[in-house]
Structure 1
């Protein structure tokens, strides 16, 4: 199987992280981009070097999928550590293992602590659970790769308690833009479902309360589905098995061909196969199909389980993002859950770079709610508009602070002035995720920043210092302006000097110096365009 460019690049970066001493590293690939294929190819490389590899997950379907894909992609067969099956004394160099089995002390002690050279954890957003940690602690000398489809800023901060680095991330917008995933359309339906009486448990809405709150609206939701997704292949996520079964029956009353699956369904495999074959056009489930299930023809997803968890939401919506012949897009039906107490995850959170942009997108999408008309949105288009507004708001809020900084009589340049001048959004919005990033900048970093002309005391942590130094080094190699050139020229009224090249700025400064440090005649700083 020929890997896609991003898969090749991902495996290259993972191995580089390990070579650089970051033994616990993370790979983020959205659902549908072939993360199993990616780490299968990596496994082949590791085995060719003589390594033993453990692929670990928390569900049997994920382990079966990993073993099957590994064999199809690489020809490698696997030992199994799950229930009655054991990899003890197996001559296979790859093991697929259930974390629920491996966490048991008796099972772990069958293996030497250095038995595995590398551990790959599928669906790694679960890795902080004690079950995973007990296994990883036992095989503490092994390199670790965590693979997940969901790691936004909040998630990365949580995962950063364990992982040393993020080896590679391919964003959902980039995947859609480059034709690897289906475009998304979001339809907001002005049906406000009241969640005011719903309790919280473990940081999210209590499923039993959500089921009760949802019940009175099921017939209305079915009527809306008739309007917008009668000709689509739809998967629906509901809070309870009872609610899922009830909604299946309502949909069949309304003329849909609906089926329902849950953890106790004995005929689950048959129902899923019939859904794939077209016997059913709607599949209801109580949060069962969030991981390890693929049906590329799904082109409509309805989330009737309101949540505060972005990873959960992304996993659900991801079921509809795979490419399929004849499929134009994936429609997300978003019913306007009404709650004043909690921030819900909305379609905007799928594609926004951060929470502020997601909030702006959701705000714009909700504006038409006042007209009580359904509104269809292209998420990429609205993200672009929202992002530009948020960036402008941020620049406006920083303007006064920057003006004060420009007046300071310092030999070194304030980093904020440099960041805004070079229009570096990644620096301005930087937030540390990993433990090492949160530590103070090292003496070596401080010295390097001072050498570049940056005032280091404004740098909050080692992670920001690393990103800034990388940016400065790349700018030097590209022949772009230095921080001191930026400060001098912008103090004279020139704009965004950070986008100019070094020689252009040097020549202008020489002209100003030769003119008694006055701006030469004919030059208007605010209108001057450097090169």
Structure 2
């Protein structure tokens, strides 16, 4: 099987990381980009090098999928370590193992710690859990590859506690641009679903609370789906099995041909096959199909299980991102969930790296509710909007700074005007003096007419404040008087008395803010 260019690059990067000493490395590929093929080829290379390879996963479907892909793409057979099945005594060099089986002390103790030289973890975002760590710690010298779809920053931080490097990352926008995944159009349904009563458990919205919150809106959602999903092959993700079953019945009442699968479905394989073959046009599930199930012809995804977890959101949407004949895009239905906007995953979570751009994109999509918009175009527009907003804010800030500076005296101008060589030549000596000026110092300086931006240490700020206080007691000019009169051409106003300066400013004001004809500022001195 010929690898795609990015898959070949990923394979090469993994071995480069291992060879450089990073024994635990990570591969990030979006759902639908063939991560199983990549690690199958990596396993083949390792076997060629004489390694024995363990592929760890937490679900039976993932083990079967990995075993099948390895056989098809490399010709290698796999031994199985799951329930009653064991790899001990097998001559196969690749073992697919269930973490629930492998973690058991009796099972682990049957393996010498150098039995596996390479361990590959499918859906690596699970590997921080105790069960995975127990297995990994039993084989301390093995080189490890973790494979996962797009993780969020929190996931990435968690993974960073175990993995030493990121060998390779291929992003969703790049995969769409390169033609390996379907373009995505997001459509916001103008239906406000109140999530204010939903609590949070283990870092995400509590499924039972979502089920309760969602219940009053199911009919409204079915009506909206009639408008947009009638000719689509749709997968709906729901929070609870009972909600999923109820919604399936409702959709059938609204003219859809809907089926439902859950962990207890005895005819699950048959239902999935019938859906793939077109017997049903909607498939409802309670988070069962987030991993290990592929149906490329799915061209609509409805997420009715709101989440804070980006990797989970990406997995749900990923059920519809694969390419298929006759499919020109994936339609992703989003809703106006009434909750804290920043904590909830939206279509923007799939594509935006920057939080500000993601928020702008979500707001733009909500304004265009009822219209399907390509997420790449939406991201580009949001990025432009953010830049425009930043430029506008910067222009306002600069104008404000300019206005502020007009009213304030630059410290250097003040020092020169009052002929204070001790201030202009000041160098801080003590620790407290060397630190930056305090907020209180800066605020006081500004109130007294000095621009604090140019004062870079607390010692200088303290000296200027002391000098200002002393000048006030001696009845000398203020910084504001100095700024005004020197801007009109008067010299060394800093040496004048406060009253002299006040009288001159009053004369100028009385003359319509023009210099009186009998005054030449450059030649004027106090007492003239």
Q: TM-score, normalised by structure 1?
A: 0.73
Q: CA deviation at 1:359?
A: 1.4
Q: CA deviation at 1:393?
A: 5.8
Q: CA deviation at 1:342?
A: 6.7
Q: Given the alignment of the two structures, is residue 77 of structure 1 paired with residue 91 of structure 2, yes or no?
A: no
Q: Gapped runs of 5+ residues in structure 2?
A: 402-528
Q: Given the alignment of the two structures, is residue 145 of structure 1 paired with residue 142 of structure 2, yes or no?
A: no
Q: Distance in 1 between matches of 2:357 and 2:155?
A: 17
Q: CA deviation at 1:109?
A: 0.6
SS at match of 1:168: strand
Q: Given the alignment of the two structures, is residue 191 of structure 1 paired with residue 187 of structure 2, yes or no?
A: no
Contact 2:150-2:171 within 8 A present in 1 as well: no
SS at match of 1:212: helix
User: Which residue of the partner structure matches residue 506 of structure 2?
Assistant: none
1:329-378 Cα distance to aligned partner (Å, 9 max, x none):
0000101111148721001100112323211211222234xxxx513211
Contact 2:296-2:321 within 8 A present in 1 as well: yes
Number of corresponding residues? 398
SS at match of 1:386: helix
Q: Distance in 2 between matches of 1:28 and 1:20?
A: 19
Q: Distance in 1 between matches of 2:344 and 2:385?
A: 22
Is the deviation greater in 357-366 or in 317-326?
Answer: 357-366
User: Which residue of the partner structure matches residue 300 of structure 2?
Assistant: 300
SS at match of 2:288: coil
User: Which residue of the partner structure matches residue 53 of structure 1?
Assistant: 53
Q: Distance in 2 between matches of 1:186 and 1:277?
A: 26
Q: Distance in 2 between matches of 1:273 and 1:130?
A: 35
Q: Distance in 1 between matches of 2:353 and 2:122?
A: 24
Q: Distance in 1 between matches of 2:110 and 2:76?
A: 23
Q: CA deviation at 1:274?
A: 0.4
Q: Given the alignment of the two structures, is residue 12 of structure 1 paired with residue 12 of structure 2, yes or no?
A: yes
Q: CA deviation at 1:397?
A: 7.8
Q: Given the alignment of the two structures, is residue 155 of structure 1 paired with residue 179 of structure 2, yes or no?
A: no
Kindly report structure 1 stretches of 4+ aligned residues shifted beyond 6 Å. 394-401
User: Which residue of the partner structure matches residue 170 of structure 1?
Assistant: 170
1:230-309 equivalences in 2 (<5 Å): 230-309=230-309
Change (3 A) 1:356 1:270: same
Contact 1:125-1:150 within 8 A present in 2 as well: no
Bigger-Rg structure (1/2): 2
Q: Distance in 1 between matches of 2:271 and 2:70?
A: 26
Q: CA deviation at 1:398?
A: 8.8
Q: CA deviation at 1:42?
A: 1.0
- Within the candidate set 367, 380, 385, 1:384 is matched to 380
Contact 2:187-2:365 within 8 A present in 1 as well: no
User: Which residue of the partner structure matches residue 113 of structure 2?
Assistant: 113
Q: Distance in 2 between matches of 1:278 and 1:205?
A: 33
Q: CA deviation at 1:195?
A: 0.9
1:366-409 Cα distance to aligned partner (Å, 9 max, x none):
234xxxx51321100011122234456668889999x9xxxxxx
Q: CA deviation at 1:13?
A: 0.4
Q: Distance in 1 between matches of 2:394 and 2:4?
A: 41
User: Which residue of the partner structure matches residue 94 of structure 2?
Assistant: 94
Change (3 A) 1:152 1:209: closer
Q: Distance in 2 between matches of 1:16 and 1:395?
A: 43
Contact 2:25-2:167 within 8 A present in 1 as well: yes
Q: Distance in 1 between matches of 2:27 and 2:392?
A: 35
SS at match of 1:255: coil
Q: Distance in 2 between matches of 1:220 and 1:23?
A: 52
Q: Distance in 2 between matches of 1:47 and 1:97?
A: 17
Q: Supply the RMSD in Å over aligned alpha carbons.
A: 1.8
Q: TM-score, normalised by structure 2?
A: 0.73
Q: Distance in 1 between matches of 2:389 and 2:105?
A: 55
Q: CA deviation at 1:204?
A: 1.1
Is the deviation greater in 241-250 or in 384-393?
Answer: 384-393
1:78-122 Cα distance to aligned partner (Å, 9 max, x none):
110001111112211000000111111110010000100000000
User: Which residue of the partner structure matches residue 512 of structure 1?
Assistant: none
Q: CA deviation at 1:155?
A: 2.2
Q: CA deviation at 1:20?
A: 0.4
Contact 1:153-1:354 within 8 A present in 2 as well: no
Change (3 A) 1:395 1:103: farther
Q: CA deviation at 1:136?
A: 0.6
SS at match of 1:91: coil
User: Which residue of the partner structure matches residue 30 of structure 2?
Assistant: 30
